[in-house]
Amino acid sequence: MKLGLSTWSLLGIDVYSAVRVIGDAGIEYVELWGELPHAYPQWVDERRLRDVLSSYGMALTMHAPFTDLNPAAPDQGVRAAVQKALTGFVDFSASLGASIVTAHPGSVHNEQLVAGSAKSSLETISKMVKAADGRLTINIENQARSSSPYHHPLGSSSASMLSLLAGAEGTGCTLDTGHAHASGIEPAGMQSELGDRVAEIHLSDNGGSSDDHLIPGEGSAPLRRVLERAAASEALVCLELNPHLYGVEQVLEGFRRTTRMLP
């Protein structure tokens, strides 16, 4: 098991500086946040980013953009644009040497569209797998449930995740502990149900009602069992801490506190 840090945790500084902070702290694994203003292909200098990463030799994963890119979009024209952006992101990630790209499966605004949206999402994810062409793995991340009748996220239960994983050959799974706990699901229980498909864990804490991205131990999520199971596997564990709540030094201290929780 490797414990790493997402550059999203350091969103207040540019991505090159975030990589340097993580590398200089001796952390052996980094996940690049694939949204503006961090590791978005048309935003960064790819050569400069590759050079900074090569200075440290850290294990590297990527989080695919999702703010404006919904893989479950019901409209074919919109979905085609999303697919073009996400397959381009896969190529960008491969060029940086990433081993995993994690993608959210998307959502729809109407319950009647859920079944069709799963097919749309799988079509998009399958195109990402094809673009990866064995160079890296595409992981599907569980999402948090929504209480809104106008927001229906896919993958917000073990059953939904298993269905998505079964429908997209060659994919792995990223377990987000914060999403699970905020959905009323025990993270270790979901981890057990998803089994060896879990290749990466996005680790954070919350109070059980919203995805607050707290330092482990500052919320109520039972995370020790997750870490115990991860320690017996080859899963990567990536800490995702709220950049609007914590400064750089607090993030690094949160990382050090988390290391003391490891089995």
Largest Cα separation within the chain, whole Å, is 50
Please list the ranges in the chain whose pLDDT falls under 50.
Answer: none
| Total number of domains in the chain | 1
- Output the pLDDT for position 114: 85
> Shortest CA distance to 223 belongs to which of 188, 185, 198, 173?
188
| pTM of structure | 0.97
DSSP per-residue letters across 105-159: --EESSGGGHHHHHHHHHHHHHHHHHHHTTSSEEEEEP------TT-EETT-SHH
- Output the pLDDT for position 115: 86
- Output the pLDDT for position 187: 98
- Output the pLDDT for position 205: 98
Sign of CA dihedral 56, 57, 59, 61: positive
Q: For residue 63, report the phi and psi dihedrals to the nearest 5 degrees.
A: -105, 115
Strands, E assignment, 191-258:
198-203, 236-239
Token pair 């050090």: residue = 256
| Neighbour tally for 37: CB within 10 Å | 13
The span from the CA of 228 to the CA of 231, in Å, is 5
Question: Could you tell me the CATH number of the domain that includes residue 199?
Answer: 3.20.20.150
> Shortest CA distance to 165 belongs to which of 203, 129, 207?
129
- The range of the structural domain enclosing residue 132 comes to 2-259
The span from the CA of 34 to the CA of 102, in Å, is 10
Characterize the bridge pairing of strands 107-108 and 152-153. antiparallel
